Each structure stands twice: as C-alpha cells, then as structure tokens.
Structure 1
Amino acid sequence: MFKKLLAAAGVGGATVDTRLANPRLAPGEVLRGEVVVQGGSVAQRIEAIDLLLMAEVEVESGDHEHREARALGRLRVSGALEIGAGETSSLPFALTLPRETPVNLLNHHGRPLAVWIHTDLAIAQARDNDDRDWLEVMPTPQMQALFAAFESLGWGLYSTDVEAGTARAGQVTTTLGCYQEFELRPYRSQWQLQEIELTFIPDGDAYQVLVEIDARFGRDGYTVLTMGRDYATVDWARRLRERIPALG
C-alpha cells in the first residue's frame, strides 16, 4: 500500500521516454520513433499515450501580441495497458506531419521558431514526462525553389513567424488554426518595395502561395502563385518579375 501511495505521488512511478528516429524532416513527411515506458516499483495502469505536434504561435490580444503553445496534430500511440514493476515496453509510432507544419530550419534574422513533440499521458499513478522533443523542420522543395528565385532577384529571408488564425489564397484556406509567414527584404535599398511576405497553403499536390507586397509608397498589394507538380520546370525568377514588376 505504501509503495502504491508513493507511485501516486510520482515517487517510484512509471516513466516514459519518447525517442525520435528522424527529428529532421519536411512537412508531409513521416516522423518515426518509439515511446519507451519503464515500469516503476509497482505495477501501474496507463489509460492512454498520445503524441502532440506543438508549435509556438503568435496571438493578438488587443494592441499586444504574445506567444503560446498550440497543438497542430495528435497521434494515439497506445490505449489502455498495464506496465509491470520494472517492466519495459516499447511502442513504435509513425506520425505524418501536416503539410502546413511550420518550417524552422532556415537562416534568418528573427527569433528561432519552436516546433516539438509533446508526450501526453493519461496515466493512473504515474509521473508525466514533460520533456520536449524538438523537431528541425526543413523547407519543402517548392519553398526552396521560390526562396532561390527571390534570392536571385536580390531578396532574402529576414524572419518568419506563425500567426493564429487562417490565411486564404483564392479558394484555398489553411486548416490548422494558424499559418506561417515568411518575411523577405531586399539586400539593397529598394525605393518601391519595402518587404514581401509569403504564405504557402497546400492545395492537393500543389501549393497556393499568397504573396503580400508592402509598398514603400502607394498602396500595398498581393498576388497568388500556383506551384503545381511541374514547379521544378518553371523559371520562377521570370514569373516573379511578370507578377511583381517592381521587383526589377
């Protein structure tokens, strides 16, 4: 009885360790790994184990903004199970990252963007492991192609953040309750344009890219680019000049 009470208080109770096999991956790819459950000094019942894909999101509140953790996806790794005293159980998993998963493996001047896996436990008489398992999310090939086109025109990535809410490009909208913006700025003084923001929105096998243009003088504007299956054959620098003549 005394051991059970200690386990209920988190002393000698079961622990979990989430181990990621490929923490560096791109949106749409599959994250693989295992959740290792180590039994404590007494047998215990685990009601469920879930993995949550998390990201820091900027939320507007009046005239202020603050960052908060948001769940972008969930995977049930295990339902109810019993873990014996001193027993070890390994639970493999495969979690497909949503194509809207924020990208954080980029060189830019802004604040680092946190994306991670949280292990959510519904465990009777056990200790919850609150460690964060960080992810390095790479840009997709479509993103790399468009960034490279802007680079050739003298524009580089300055910062990126994730905003609460939804973004729309044509008839397509984001679905996670938040969206990522990539802010680009010119390397040299540009008298017409101040900055450009990109939002990539999945559309089946394609991406619709919302391009918001911040003009230095006059009205701001926007345009939408479609990056389909043939994106790799497109001269994106030329396409950008056609759609945004002020780029030069």
Structure 2
Amino acid sequence: MSFFNKILASIGIGGAKVDTKLEKSEYTAGEMIRGQVEIYGGSTEQQIDSIYLTVYTTFIRETDDRKHTDYAAVKHHKLNEPFKIGANETKSIPFSMELPIDTPITYGNTRVWVATGLDIKNAADPGDKDYIEVRPTNMAAAILEEVEQLGFRLRQVECEQASKRLGSRYPFIQEFEFVPTSGPFRGKLDELEVMFLAQTKEKAELLIQVDRKARGLGGLLAEAFEMDETHVRLTVMSQDVPRLNETLKGVISKYA
C-alpha cells in the first residue's frame, strides 16, 4: 500500500470505519446492552489498539448565570485487545455491557447514547453514536408513581450540574420536578423535587426538596431568600414499597 494512502488513512480518509448495531433501542436502567461492533477496513491495513464503548448523557451546566448543555460519561467499556484489520476486511465483534442502574432516564430534554470508538495509532478516531431510550428501574418507577398518587403532576425532568456537597458520582444529578394539582398538598406547595442520589436494585437514596407556597409578607420574604425550601434525605428499601405512599405523605406533610 502506498505511503500516500497511509497518510490519507491517518487523517480519516480511506481509513477503518466502525458501526455498532444494538440489539434494541430501549432499555431499563441496570439492564444488559448487547450488540455487535462491525469494523470495516479501509484502503490500507491498520492497527486497532482497542475498541471502546462509552455511555453518555446530556446535562445543564450553569456558568456566569447562563445555562449551557454539556455531556458526561456514565459508563466506559473496553471491548478487545489490539488487532490488525486488513484493507477492505470486515470484522464483527459481539459485546454485552451493563447499563448503570443510575443512568438518567430519557425524559424531556435528557438524551443518552452509546458512543463507539476505535483507538488507532496515528490516525483519526472513526466514531459512531447510537441513541437509546432509558426507562426507570422498578424501584424508581414505584417511587415516582407514588408521588403522583399523592396528587402531584410531573412537570419537568432535567439533569443539572450537581453540587459537590451532594456526593454524586457524576457531575450532574437528575431532578424530577412535580407540581401539586390535587390532594392534600394543593395550595400548600409550589413544587416538589425528587432526586435519586444513589440506587441499587434493593435501595434508593433520595433527596426531596419541598418548596412551600408563600403565605403573607413573611412567606414572600422567605421565598425571596429561598428559605421556603426544605431538603430532606430519605432511604427507600424494596420492602418499604408497599407502605411508600404513607411514608412519602408523612415526610412531605412534616415540611409543607
């Protein structure tokens, strides 16, 4: 192969390409993602040092009072050992990797995708991107459903930059913003925010923000200085789910 073709391959012209084919496009957080990574050789033989899969999500970062959409990785997965792919050769490599149980759900503006890259020495990375839909775990779904059963409507879901004091393992946290439309908290709260600090199959660590409705001058002043908001940490175990409605109602009532 000519030196000229090698130079072109190094800048991505006539070089190897990659295409990931997922088994499906919708997953529950914590589920296994399976598929095939297909590598197509270019016009010259190339050394592939590694194939890597990364799960990314979007989040909102605030800088100088302006909001920007950023992205962060929630999972890295190396697929193989180094190998060579010949000119015009095709290789197919099956894979399986676990989607983290705390992967954000794809609701509202939140996007999640699997990015595939080839680590090729002295060459451009011919990446590939596949968007997926992510559904909540059974535990998370049960918690969100019980909040709605208390008369709240889910208004917005967004991943926002996380404060370091929250101890999140990601630079973001997903917030579920509810408004009371019926039930015991209508007229008492402006909104209720639920955040999942950590999750396993058997346990969820929650941060609940109770935002009280302003009442009178004192309430307006409290709202102006954000003193009308109370943050409550709550641990929910799988065995707590049957009594979850009563538990949530008690916690929210205490600060409403």
- Report the TM-score when normalising by structure 1: 0.86
Q: How far apart, CA to CA, are the structure 1 residues paired with 2:89 and 2:140? A: 46
Find the partner of 1:84 among 74, 83, 86: 86
Q: What is the correspondence of 1:89-108 to structure 2 with a 5 Å cutoff?
A: 89-104=91-106, 106=107
The one-letter code of the counterpart of 2:250 is E
Question: Secondary structure in 1 aligned to 2:126?
Answer: coil
Query: Aligned-pair RMSD on alpha carbons?
Result: 2.4
Is 1:187 matched up with 2:181?
Answer: yes
Would you say the 8 A contact 1:166–1:175 is kept in 2? no
1:51 corresponds to which letter in structure 2?
Answer: L
Any runs of at least 4 consecutive aligned residues in structure 1 with deviations exceeding 6 A, and if so which?
none
CA contact (8 A) 1:103 1:139 kept: yes
How many percent identity over aligned positions? 32
Look up the match of 1:230: 239
Bigger Rg, which one: 2
Q: Secondary structure at the match of 1:150?
A: helix
Mean Cα displacement is larger for which, 180-189 or 137-146? 180-189
Measured in 2, the distance between the counterparts of 1:133 and 1:203 equals: 25
Mapped pair 1:160 → 2:157: yes
Equivalent position of 2:22 in the other structure: 20
Decide which of 52, 55, 62 is 1:53's aligned counterpart. Answer: 55
SS in 2 for 1:235: helix
Output the CA distance in 1 between the equivalents of 2:246 and 2:18: 52
1:175 aligns to what?
A: 169
* Change over 3 Å in CA distance of 1:157–1:167 after alignment to 2: farther
Q: Secondary structure at the match of 1:142?
A: helix
Structure in which a larger fraction of residues adopt helix: 2
Unmatched segments (≥5 aa) in structure 2:
220-227
Q: Quick one: structure 1 residues 9 and 240, their matched pair in 2 at CA, closer, same or farther if it must change by over 3 Å?
A: closer
Q: Are 1:128 and 2:137 matched, yes or no?
A: no
**Structure 1 pair 246/193, CA: closer, same or farther in 2 (3 Å)?**
farther
Can you list the C-alpha shifts for 1:7-29, whole angstroms capped at 9, x where unaligned? Answer: 23323221100111133112222
Partners in 1 of 2:6 and 2:126 — Cα distance?
19
SS at match of 2:145: helix
Taking the aligned partners of 1:240 and 1:139, their CA distance within structure 2 comes to: 19
Q: Indicate if the aligned counterparts of 2:117 and 2:128 stay in contact, CA closer than 8 A.
A: no
* Stretch deviating more after TM superposition (213-222 or 68-77): 213-222
Instruction: For 2:181 and 2:81, locate their aligned partners in 1 and report how far apart those are by CA, in whole Å.
Output: 53
Structure-2 change in CA distance of 1:56 and 1:203 (3 Å)? closer
Larger deviation: 175-184 or 198-207? 198-207
Alpha carbons of structure 1 residues 127 and 182: separation in structure 2 relative to 1, 3 Å? same
CA contact 1:43–1:82 (8 Å) conserved in 2? yes
Q: 176-185 or 203-212, which moves further after superposition?
A: 203-212
In structure 1, give the amino acid aligned to 2:239: D
Aligned position for 2:206: 209
CA distance in 2 between counterparts of 1:138 and 1:247 reads 30
> SS of 2:246's equivalent?
helix
